[in-house]
Amino acid sequence: MEKIRNTALICIGRAVLFGALAISLIMVSLSFDLALALFVGAFLTLAMAEILIVKALIVPWQKPNRTEVWTCLDKTARPAGAQGRAVFTGVLREVYVFFARNSYTIACSLFAASLVLRIARGVV
């Protein structure tokens, strides 16, 4: 189970990292207005968190052998049977929720920073 969790953390974390890279590049392109950049970054990070939540919800209906985590696992580490599929599904859901929760926390922080900057400028 620990091999599945580590592989899921790497695979899903890599996807979240690429999403965060895209969001940060958009924020850099809006750096002429820091409050706007933070607001857009918060909005996009919140969208990423929602996508991760939806992915966590649809995991039970996915075929495990069609996931990236499954293809990255060793053939000996792949779970078999209904109980193995339940464990695999639970681990994937847990990892998706972990990244969604962290993304949501970052989005809230970016929203708060954007609000503070807007209040400081007197534009709310």
> Would you say 116 and 62 are in contact if contact means Cβ atoms under 8 Å apart?
no
Task: Mark out the alpha helices in the chain (DSSP H runs).
Answer: 2-29, 34-58, 68-72, 81-121
Domain boundaries, the chain: 2-121
**Confidence (pLDDT) at 124:** 65
pTM for the full predicted model: 0.90
pLDDT 10s digits, 46-92: 999 999 999 999 999 988 888 889 888 888 888 888 898 899 999 99
Predicted confidence (pLDDT) at residue 93 exceeds the cutoff of 80: yes
